[in-house]
Amino acid sequence: MKESEKVFWDQMKNPTGNPHIAAINSPSKISSKLLLCLIFFVSFTYLIYSLKLLSSSRPCPDLHPFSSHRISNLSALAGISPLSLHLPPPLSNQTELRHVVFGIAASAKLWEQRKDYIKLWFKPEEMRGTVWLDRKVKTDYDSDDLPPIRISGDTSKFAYKNRQGHRSAIRISRIVSETFRLGLKDVRWFVMGDDDTVFVTENLIRVLRKYDHNQLYYIGSLSESHLQNIYFSYSMAYGGGGFAISYPLAKALVRMQDRCIQRYPGLYGSDDRMQACMAELGVPLTKHLGFHQYDVYGNLFGLLAAHPITPFVSIHHLDVVEPIFPNVTRLQALQRLKIPMQVDSAGLMQQSICYHKSNTWTISISWGFAIQIFRGILSPREVEMPARTFLNWYRRADYTAYAFNTRPVSRNPCQKAFVFYLSDAQLNSTTGQTISKYTRHRMPQPTCKWKSPSPASIDIVQVIKKQDPNLWDRSPRRNCCRVMRSREKKTMMVEVGICREGEIIEVK
Final residue of a domain: which of 293, 308, 325?
A: 293
The rounded distance, in Å, linking the Cα atoms of 505 and 357 is: 12
Gyration radius of the chain over CA positions: 34
115 shares its domain with 219: yes
CATH code of the domain containing 203 = 3.90.550.50
In a domain, 328, yes or no: no
Host H or E run for residue 375: strand 370-375
Question: Is 299 contained in some domain?
Answer: no
Whole-number Cα distances in Å, 30 to 10, 14, 33, 36: 18, 18, 5, 10
Report yes or no on 16 lying in a domain.
Answer: no
Residue 479 DSSP label = P
Same domain (yes/no): 278, 348: no
* Pairwise CA distance, residues 78 & 69, whole Å: 14
Is residue 74 situated within a structural domain? no
Residues with Cβ within 8 Å of 213's Cβ and at least 6 positions away in sequence, in order, are 95, 99, 188, 189, 246, 247
Asked whether residue 195 is assigned to any structural domain, the reply reads yes
Residue finishing a domain among 261, 293, 325: 293
Give the domain-ending residue among 293, 318, 352.
Answer: 293
Q: Is residue 314 part of a domain?
A: no
Query: What does each of the 508 residues of the chain score in pLDDT, given as a tens digit?
Result: 444 444 444 444 444 444 443 444 444 555 666 667 667 776 766 666 566 555 544 443 443 333 333 333 323 333 434 333 344 444 559 999 999 999 999 999 999 999 999 999 999 999 999 999 999 998 877 788 999 999 999 999 999 999 999 999 999 999 999 999 999 999 999 999 999 999 999 999 999 999 999 999 999 999 999 999 999 999 999 999 999 999 999 999 999 999 999 999 999 999 999 999 999 999 999 999 999 999 999 999 999 999 999 999 999 999 999 999 999 999 999 999 999 999 999 999 999 999 999 999 999 999 999 999 999 999 999 999 999 999 999 988 988 999 999 999 998 999 999 999 999 999 998 899 999 999 999 988 889 999 889 999 999 999 999 999 999 999 999 999 999 998 888 999 999 999 999 888 776 6
Say if residues 468 and 486 touch (Cβ distance below 8 Å): no
Residue 63's pLDDT is 36
Name the helix (H) or strand (E) containing 40. Answer: helix 27-55
C-alpha 269/C-alpha 162 separation (Å) is: 9
| Terminal CA-CA length for the chain | 87
* Torsion angles phi and psi, residue 48, rounded to 5: -65, -45
In eight-state DSSP terms, residue 387 is B
Range of the domain at 396: 343-497
Helix (H) or strand (E) holding 418: strand 418-428
Is 59 within the bounds of a domain? no
